Amino acid sequence: MQTFAEGGVFDTLLNSITSGVTEAVNSAVTALGGVVPAVVIVLGISIGVPLVIRFIRRTVK
């Protein structure tokens, strides 16, 4: 274990794992960041359009 750590292989492995995890988390956050506004927009449209239509019908009557 001592020679393994001295060789720097362990450090390199640890760094690559850490950076890989960081990248995975960042990409997941980015994906969520893209999904959440889309979901909010779709929900807003699906809720807002019927309300606007009702409002227009009431105003026209």
SS3 2: helix
pLDDT at residue 30 in the model: 86
Residue 21, Cα to own-chain centre: how many angstroms?
15
Is the model's pLDDT at 47 over the cut of 60? yes
Enumerate residues 6+ apart whose C-beta is below 8 A from 11: 5
SS3 33: helix
Is the model's pLDDT at 7 over the cut of 80? no
Higher-confidence residue of 6 and 19: namely 19
pLDDT at residue 32 in the model: 81
- What mean pLDDT is predicted for residues 40-47? 90
Handedness of CA 33, 38, 41, 44 (dihedral sign): negative
